[in-house]
Amino acid sequence: MSDLSPIAALPPAPTLPARRPSWWWRLTHRRATRLQAQQARLLADHHARTTERARAAQLDLARAGFSLGPVPFGYRPLRVTVPDSNGRHRRRIRLTFDPLTAPTVALIYQWCVDDLLDPTAIAHRLRAEPTWYPTRIDPTTRNPRPWDTRAVARILTNPVYTGATIWGRTHGGQPVPPDRWVICRHAHEPIIDARTFYRAQVMTRASREALDLFITIAEIPESDAPDPDPAPESSRRRGIE
């Protein structure tokens, strides 16, 4: 049996009364708080000015016909060197015709306008013959991406295939109204003509606002704009997704 006895627990430490901050601490704390708020405002103003300058530079590039986003299927990047506003040479990208994938884009429009196929049926036809119709390539993994309805619909509603560069169609992942897009006509070689594109918008039930803008992009007089009578939904041929 051990001769050691248990040690009694120590009593709790006495609670000290809360001390009121000294006048010096209150003075310096208020000054530090005001200084931090002022620095935060200056930083926010600087960020806003920097963002505005960057956006203005992007607008100038878009109006000049340079590509600012991912290269769309059917084109490949052509890197050129151009001087900026400060005279420094910068590398920019223009779109050039891709002979391997551009024919597939033309076929997608042909199947929509002439064969009255909807995007689902077109995607099914593309997947049925992968040897004849090249697949899309994921820009991140570089792996093939099978055709689906959404990918075909994006091609059928993208004015870039008429030779126009469009910037600002989305902001923060949300669609932007067409009247706020930045458009540069004749920026690169077109894959389809403007009338084919407009007919595809009618077939895909584009909004009236979008159709009016596409007439402007295509430089088609409103009195001469094509007005096809698309087949009703029940008569359009669909594929199995």
Please state the rounded mean pLDDT for residues 24-36: 72
Is 56 in contact with 49 (CB distance < 8 Å)?
A: no
State the Cα angle at 75 between 118 and 133, rounded to 5°: 50
H or E element at residue 33 = helix 23-63
Residue 160 in tokens: 């870039």
Is 119 in contact with 204 (CB distance < 8 Å)?
A: yes
Say what angle helices 102-113 and 149-156 make with each other, to 10 degrees: 90
DSSP-assigned letter for residue 19: P
Is 106 in contact with 133 (CB distance < 8 Å)?
A: no
Q: What is the pLDDT of residue 234?
A: 44
Lowest mean pLDDT among 79-88, 145-154, 222-231: 222-231
Domain extents for the chain? Answer: 100-235
pTM: 0.66
| pLDDT of residue 230 exceeding 50 | no
Residue 211 in tokens: 């159709």
Please state the rounded mean pLDDT for residues 28-46: 77
Question: pLDDT of 181-195, one tens digit each?
Answer: 788 888 889 999 888
Q: Does domain 100-235 have CATH number 3.30.70?
A: no
Is 130 in contact with 188 (CB distance < 8 Å)?
A: no
Please state the rounded mean pLDDT for residues 160-180: 80
Residues near 187 by beta carbon (within 8 Å), at least 6 away in sequence: 65, 66, 94, 95, 163, 164, 165
Amino acid at residue number 105: V
| pLDDT of residue 118 exceeding 60 | yes
Q: What is the pLDDT of residue 4?
A: 63
Question: pLDDT of 133-149, one tens digit each?
Answer: 888 887 778 788 889 99
